[in-house]
Chains A and B, each alone.
Chain A
Amino acid sequence: EAGVTQFPSHSVIEKGQTVTLRCDPISGHDNLYWYRRVMGKEIKFLLHFVKESKQDESGMPNNRFLAERTGGTYSTLKVQPAELEDSGVYFCASSQAIGLSRYEQYFGPGTRLTVT
């Protein structure tokens, strides 16, 4: 079974540009999460999808960040326009929708975003 995949693995952009990150969850996982780790800090929650619906977006930093999950499969996270403080590693995770499995979140390898 394929794990969570993320693309690209690394992105370097200039301040003011737009970047779109993609996450493909494990097949059949209705729950999809985005997290971010900025340098020296802990991994922090950004938002949670259940299928195509946003369940919780309390961690989204501001309106420069837009997440979508059309069709309830893969998800994209767009940053527009990017700022220097957006640099960090963006992780995607997914979990099943049943019982305690909802808490077993499987993480992707992350996308390292560098804004210069």
Chain B
Amino acid sequence: QKEVEQDPGPLSVPEGAIVSLNCTYSNSAFQYFMWYRQYSRKGPELLMYTYSSGNKEDGRFTAQVDKSSKYISLFIRDSQPSDSATYLCAMSHTTSGTYKYIFGTGTRLKVLA
């Protein structure tokens, strides 16, 4: 079983829709939860990160962490065609002094104009 599971999609939504992207994980030691956006042939771009549980909002983006369920979500409000990309979740814990990420496979999102 992978440490981080993410539905690869593709997920197609109409412009203006609310998008929900999710990841589940198995390692309860994870404390840092990241969301990256990756356009085709580009590097991952850091969108948001959350420490431990709770919500974090930044413009049209909201990240949620539910540690009891080992489940994280990224919500995109008023989705735009420019949001079409692959969204990657990544997680880290603090053991051994390294901050390496464990990534999900990514979800491809298409926002249709």
Q: Does B59 contact A (CB under 8 A)?
A: no
| Stretch in B11-19, B60-68, B100-108 touching the partner | B100-108
Our pick among A41, A44, A56, A109 for the contact of B96 (Cβ within 8 Å) is A56
Q: Which of B91-113 contact A (CB under 8 A)?
A: 92, 96-106
The answer, yes or no, to whether A75 is at the interface (CB within 8 Å) is no
Report whether A107 and B36 are in contact in the complex, using a CB–CB cutoff of 8 Å. Answer: yes
* B29 in contact (CB, < 8 A): no
| Interface residue? A33 (CB, 8 A) | yes
B88 interfacial contact with A, CB 8 Å? yes
Complex interface bits, B31-48 against A, C-beta within 8 A gives 1, otherwise 0 = 010101000011111100
The reply to whether A95 and B43 form a contact with Cβ atoms under 8 Å apart is no
The answer to whether A55 touches B88 (Cβ under 8 A) is no
Beyond A42-B106, A103-B92, whether A110 also contacts B43 by CB under 8 A is yes
Chain A contributes a number of interface residues (CB within 8 A of B) equal to 25
Give residues 1-37 of B contacting A (CB, 8 Å).
2, 4, 32, 34, 36
B residues within 8 A CB of A33?
100
- In the complex, whether B71 has a CB less than 8 A from a CB of chain A is no
**Which B residues are CB-close (under 8 A) to A55?**
97-98
Q: Is the CB of A91 within 8 A of B98?
A: no
Chain A residues positioned under 8 Å from B2 (CB to CB): 42
Taken together as a complex, chains A and B put the C-alpha atoms of A11 and B70 apart, in Å, by 39
Known: A55-B97, A104-B46, A104-B49. A42 touches B36 (CB 8 A): no
CA distance A104 to B32 in the complex (A): 10
Q: Nearest residue in B to A46 (C-beta to C-beta)?
A: B100
Q: Are A103 and B32 in contact (CB under 8 A)?
A: yes
- Closest beta carbon of chain A to B97's beta carbon, Å: 6
CB < 8 Å neighbour of B99 from A43, A91, A105, A108: A105
- Chain A 91-116 interface 0/1 with B at a Cβ cutoff of 8 Å (1 = within): 10001000010111111111000000
Partner of B42, one of A35, A100, A102, A109: A109
Complex interface: chain A residues within 8 A of B104 (CB):
42
- A interface residues with partner B (beta carbon < 8 Å): 4, 31, 33, 35, 41-45, 48, 55-56, 59, 91, 95, 100, 102-110
